[in-house]
Amino acid sequence: MSINSTTNKNFTNFYQVKTKHSGLLSWLLTTDHKRIGIMYLVSILTFFLVGLTFAFLMRLEMLTPGPTIVDAQTYNSFFTLHGMIMVFLFIIPGIPAVFGNFFLPLQIGAEDVAFPRLNLMSYHLYLVGAFLALYSLIFQTHIDTGWTFYVPYSLRTGTDVTLTLMAAFILGFSSILTGLNFVTTCHRMRVKGMKMFEMPLFTWALYSTAWIQVVATPIIGITIVLVLLERSFGFGIFDPTLGGDPVLYQHLFWIYSHPAVYIMAIPAFGVISDVVATFSRKSVFGYKVMAYSTLAIAVIGYMVWAHHMFTSGMSDTARTVFSFLTFFVAIPTGVKVFNWVATLWRGTIVLSSPMLMALSAIFLFSIGGLTGLHLGAISTDIHLHDTYFVIAHFHYVIIGGILSMFIAGMHYWFPKMFGTMHNEKVAKTGVVMYFIGANVLYFPMFIMGYMGMPRRYFDYLPEYQIYHVVSTVGSWILISAILLMFINLLIGIFKGKPAGPNPWGAKTLEWTMPSPPPLLNFIETPIPNHDPYDYHDHDERVFREAKEKEKEIINQENS
Amino acid sequence: MSTTSVDAHGHSNNHAGHGYGDNDQLYVHFHRDDYGSKFGMWLFLFTEVLLFGGLFVLYYGYRIAYPQDYHHAAMELNIVMGAVNTLVLLTSSLTMVLSIVALRRENIKASLLYLFITFGFGATFCVNKYFEWSAKIHHGIYPGSLELQESRPAGEVVFFGLYYLMTGLHTFHVIVGMVVMVFCYIFIKTGTINSDKYIVLENAGLYWHLVDLIWIFLFPLFYLLH
Amino acid sequence: MSGHNEHTSVDQHDHVPSYGKNVMIWLVLVALTALTVTVASVNLGDYTFFFAMLIASVKAMLVINIFMHIKYDDLLMKGILVACGFIFMVIFVIYSFDLFNTYTG
């Protein structure tokens, strides 16, 4: 990479490229994986903000016992909306669709994904599904089934779940196509000389995730179709009055929806691996084990679905088996956490905003992960099932872990995606606020959950009020932190200083090109290292001096 | 191998090493990777298998729950119809393969003929299915019917529910396969699919065999186990 | 510049399947269909299900290997096939722990 690419003025980047269409169509009809990634980013964050609004309203409602701002029925549709939007529109597509699309080809030295047109189609499906979901959720009768659509209630409820289910089906299809595309891309598009075990761990994570998307999502597809048909024709498949068994619905639902948790989590783990390696200036500790553990989580995660059903009337044998398998999944996950920490050991740690976020994510995720074991044990699960303990557990995992990792990824790859730097100080303040907010919001939930506060209730006994108040205050802190970081990034896009090709000193291939990347990504065919995080010849002092020089050049050019 | 190297990277010779000139800006990313297409097709087939897999899981669950009702209900299905449809699909699979073989041997006419026959078998299957279903509906056995809800035990309701769902979904796949064949037919005629670039036909073939494959399991599960 | 491995980018034109072999396989499949229908009319008790599934699996293997060409494909293709079959089996096995104990226990 030549030095004169500091400000990238010599290159036409993928934003500036003239295409067949212009204006909005040049985005909506593009097959460029980077543009599709950006489109996903914009849509996903929009839906995230909608879901966040409902979360905020729910917390506000729980401030006092009895009706505070809404009545019980509205509260029911609030938690359905919140769950549905956050799960199907934000967190499942989240990292694979945004960063996966943008960075998978870049990390393996490819020009694009294997099936670019399919990729665009999968975005269109996402868009259609999302609008259908939002339309049905907000403008139709307010559905109140929760995001799980459990039968027989979803068969009987007078609210209009049909459209919502169709939306979920279409979104599932979009997810399948993305997965199919990524698996093929990882196998077929690697640059010459890069072996499977020389791919960056984020790519490995995407690869494993893509497999889950391919082999798990069809199951939810057929389940949704069955509920739809059952509602209209009365096939008797799930309806207990006709001979069906609702527990079998739960089996089918969780055969997908538990692996879906790993669709959310595994790519997030990949982001952390990349971020931790980069800012420790060290190769990831136990690279191969990390890659294998990613696959292991994907495989074992596929076999643990029924731990959501310990109180649904399963047989004792099944409960024991699934409890055992559930503990098993903690092993590869534990391996990952230990390896991240071991990567830090004797590293040259640079506490930039993505790194700070990643460290906070590891801590919060560990709390979420370890409390998962309480729920995986049958005896404690009977006590804790459907209480706020469960809510606290998975929000520690999703907000503390996965959303943190998403935001860490956003800060980490921001310079590459937009070619400018964000304000590091503001970002770091945001991270600290986020950490405090998440703990204040979710930790009281563990306590009241253990005391017996059930989830999905809009009312509660006065003795829980103190916890609810603390929790609601926490939600305000968390939301301000998120908004602060987003606004900071938004300002960074327009006002930030040019970033240069590699502001963080990272070693993976996406940093070898100007930022934002040119249309066909690589100027010259990249030569991959055997170790994707090869820092053996890295001298931090030299790197910082080079960065200072780069800054001077940028300042001169701007003045 | 003339077409293999040309448009894989339309301008791969001239863009290495320099920036992006105006001519390159209209470049649409396109590369040919037959192996990759086939790989992607197989992944898609897995998703199809798992889509049916959900139904097989239910079939299996209810089979254990209602063994007696399953036996009685299966007696009412017409084995001859099922067997004929099995033969039709097996033969159509053969003609599909032969169509690919003929194409690869540059015998376009034979290829088109075999494809047409395959399409015909698909249509035969659907017609057969139509008569079979109408007979059942005529006897009052269809989802939500009074006959099923009032005078049949729960296991039979579930059995016939699954029967309609699984054969229905399967027939839907047969129809999709036939639509794909129409496109293949046109593409072979126009020369888009030829003896060198036959991956589209091959993928269509894979899809068609999957349809056959699923029927191979549906046939004994519904018609023979009584 | 190309992102993928050039040497395998286009399907190898090595194995051109013959008409004869496919017709043979078809004959075997038809024979197996006849067999499975015949076996179904004999009362084998608990083995009926087993035999029906066995014959169906043999037929499926023939279709996958010859008609769907997997026999002539490389290890990766075979590998993903086996992996998916494995996952499918695992679902059925661990799911059975619930079914057998709930409905027959």
- Residue B5 predicted with pLDDT over 80: no
Lowest mean pLDDT among A172-186, A372-386, A536-550: A536-550
- Quote the pTM value: 0.91
Partners of A13 in the beta sheet?
A518
* Res A102: pLDDT: 94
Interface of A with C (CB under 8 A): 105, 108-112, 187-192, 215, 247, 251, 255, 299, 302-303, 306, 313-318, 321-322, 325, 520, 522, 524-525
Q: What percent of chain A has pLDDT over 90?
A: 65
**How many other C-beta atoms lie within 10 A of the C-beta of residue A2?**
10
* Res A357: pLDDT: 96
**Average pLDDT rounded to a whole number, residues B128-141:** 92
Q: How far is CA A91 from the centre of its chain?
A: 4
At B150, the pLDDT band (50, 70, 90 cuts) reads: confident
Cβ–Cβ < 8 Å for A443, A473? no
At B2, the pLDDT band (50, 70, 90 cuts) reads: very low
Query: Would you call A195 helix, strand, or coil by DSSP?
Result: coil
Q: What is the set of domains in chain B, with CATH numbers?
A: 31-224 (1.20.120.80)
Select the residue of C4, C6, C97 nearest A321 (Cβ to Cβ): C97
Helices marked H in A424-537? 424-451, 465-495
Residues 6+ apart with CB under 8 A from B217: B56, C56, C60
Helix and strand totals (H; E) in chain A: 19, 0
ipTM of the complex: 0.90
CA distance A166 to A224: 8
* Res A152: pLDDT: 86
- Angstroms from B29 CA to nearest CA on chain A: 7
Cβ–Cβ < 8 Å for B169, B52? yes
Please tell me which residue of chain B has the smallest CA distance to C23: B94
Q: Does A266 touch chain B (CB under 8 A)?
A: no
At A3, the pLDDT band (50, 70, 90 cuts) reads: very low
- Residue B3 predicted with pLDDT over 80: no
Q: Does A252 touch chain B (CB under 8 A)?
A: yes
Residue scoring higher pLDDT (C8 or A437) = A437
3-class SS string, chain B: CHHHHHHHHCCHHHHCCCCCCCHHHHCCCCCCCHHHHHHHHHHHHHHHHHHHHHHHHHHHHHHHHCHHHHHHHHHCCCHHHHHHHHHHHHHHHHHHHHHHHHHHCCCHHHHHHHHHHHHHHHHHHHHHHHHHHHHHHHCCCCCCCHHHHHHCCHHHHHHHHHHHHHHHHHHHHHHHHHHHHHHHHHHHHHCCCCCCCCHHHHHHHHHHHHHHHHHHHHHHHHHHCC
Q: How many residues does chain B have?
A: 226
At B110, the pLDDT band (50, 70, 90 cuts) reads: very high
Task: State both tokens at A309.
Answer: 């059903």
* Res A206: pLDDT: 96
Interchain proximity B58–A237, CB inside 8 Å = yes
* Res A55: pLDDT: 94
**Average pLDDT rounded to a whole number, residues B90-100:** 94
- Report chain B's C-alpha Rg in angstroms: 23
- Angstroms from B181 CA to nearest CA on chain C: 17
CA distance C24 to C16: 16
Instruction: Give residues 53 to 72 of B whose Cβ lies within 8 Å of A.
Output: 53-55, 57-58, 61-62, 65-66
CA distance B106 to B162: 44
Cβ–Cβ < 8 Å for C12, B91? no
Residue scoring higher pLDDT (B205 or A8) = B205
Q: What is the pLDDT of residues A428-446, one digit of tens each?
A: 999 999 999 999 999 999 9
Residues 6+ apart with CB under 8 A from C65: C71
* Res A10: pLDDT: 64
* Res B100: pLDDT: 92
Lowest mean pLDDT among A78-92, A509-523, A529-543, B21-35: B21-35
Interchain proximity B43–A518, CB inside 8 Å = no
* Res C96: pLDDT: 86
- Residue A5 predicted with pLDDT over 90: no
Interchain proximity C10–B213, CB inside 8 Å = no
- Residue A147 predicted with pLDDT over 90: no
* Res A368: pLDDT: 94
Select the residue of A189, A303, A315 nearest C3 (Cβ to Cβ): A189
**How many other C-beta atoms lie within 10 A of the C-beta of residue A273?**
28
**Average pLDDT rounded to a whole number, residues C86-102:** 84
* Residues in B touching A229 (Cβ below 8 Å): 143, 165
Query: Would you call A547 helix, strand, or coil by DSSP?
Result: helix
* Architecture in CATH for domain A33-558: Up-down Bundle (1.20)
Residue scoring higher pLDDT (A460 or C44) = A460
CA distance A146 to A77: 8
Q: What is the pLDDT of residues B47-66, one digit of tens each?
A: 999 999 999 999 999 998 89
Interchain proximity C1–A525, CB inside 8 Å = yes
Residue A518 sits at φ, ψ, to 5 deg, of -70, 170
Residue A83 sits at φ, ψ, to 5 deg, of -65, -50
Query: Would you call A479 helix, strand, or coil by DSSP?
Result: helix
* The one-letter amino acid at B77: L
CA distance A53 to B142: 46
Lowest mean pLDDT among A85-89, A204-208, A242-246, A255-259: A242-246
Helix pair angle (A246-280, A316-344), 10° resolution: 10
- Residue A91 predicted with pLDDT over 50: yes
Chain A interface, best mutation among B28, B46, B69, B164, by max A CB count within 10 A: B28
Interchain proximity A314–C98, CB inside 8 Å = yes
Question: CA distances (Å), A458 to each of A76, A377, A392, A452, in order?
Answer: 8, 28, 17, 14
CA distance A46 to A44: 5
CA distance C62 to C21: 12
Select the residue of A112, A215, A318 nearest C84 (Cβ to Cβ): A215
Residue pairs between chains A and C whose CB atoms are closer than 8 Å: 65
Neighbours of chain A (3+ CB pairs under 8 A): B, C
| Strand spans (E) along C1-105 | none
* Res A445: pLDDT: 95
Cβ–Cβ < 8 Å for A262, A301? yes
Interchain proximity A192–C101, CB inside 8 Å = no
* Res A50: pLDDT: 92
* Residues in B touching A18 (Cβ below 8 Å): 22, 25-26
- Angstroms from B8 CA to nearest CA on chain C: 9
* Res B19: pLDDT: 37
Three-point CA angle A231, A237, A241, nearest 5°: 80
Residue A209 sits at φ, ψ, to 5 deg, of -60, -45
Interchain proximity B16–C1, CB inside 8 Å = yes
Q: What is the pLDDT of residues A295-315, one digit of tens each?
A: 999 999 888 999 999 988 888
Q: Is C96 exposed, middle or buried (0-12, 13-18, 19+ CB in 10 A)?
A: middle
* Res A497: pLDDT: 86
Partners of A420 in the beta sheet?
A498
Interchain proximity A226–B165, CB inside 8 Å = yes
Peptide bond into A444 cis (omega under 30): no
* Res A418: pLDDT: 93
* Residues in A touching C97 (Cβ below 8 Å): 315, 317-318, 321
At B39, the pLDDT band (50, 70, 90 cuts) reads: very high
CA distance A364 to A474: 15
Lowest mean pLDDT among A173-182, A366-375, C93-102: C93-102
Q: Does B146 touch chain A (CB under 8 A)?
A: no
* Residues in B touching C54 (Cβ below 8 Å): none
Residue given tokens 């075997």 in the structure block = C28
**How many other C-beta atoms lie within 10 A of the C-beta of residue A120?**
20
Interchain proximity C102–A313, CB inside 8 Å = yes
In sign, the C-alpha dihedral spanning A92, A98, A101, A104 is: negative
* Residues in A touching B14 (Cβ below 8 Å): none
Q: What is the pLDDT of residues B15-36, one digit of tens each?
A: 333 334 334 444 444 578 889 9
Residue scoring higher pLDDT (A476 or A513) = A476
Chain A interface, best mutation among C102, C103, C104, by max A CB count within 10 A: C102
At A2, the pLDDT band (50, 70, 90 cuts) reads: very low
- Residue A74 predicted with pLDDT over 90: no
Interchain proximity B213–C60, CB inside 8 Å = yes
Closest C-alpha to A265, from A92, A408, A451: A92
Residue scoring higher pLDDT (B9 or A182) = A182
Three-point CA angle A470, A471, A476, nearest 5°: 100
* Res A190: pLDDT: 92
Max CA distance (Å), chain C: 66
- Angstroms from B197 CA to nearest CA on chain C: 9
- Residue C7 predicted with pLDDT over 50: no
Mean pLDDT of chain A: 90
In sign, the C-alpha dihedral spanning B19, B24, B25, B28 is: negative
**Per-domain boundaries in chain A:** 33-558
**Average pLDDT rounded to a whole number, residues B72-84:** 90
* Res C15: pLDDT: 67
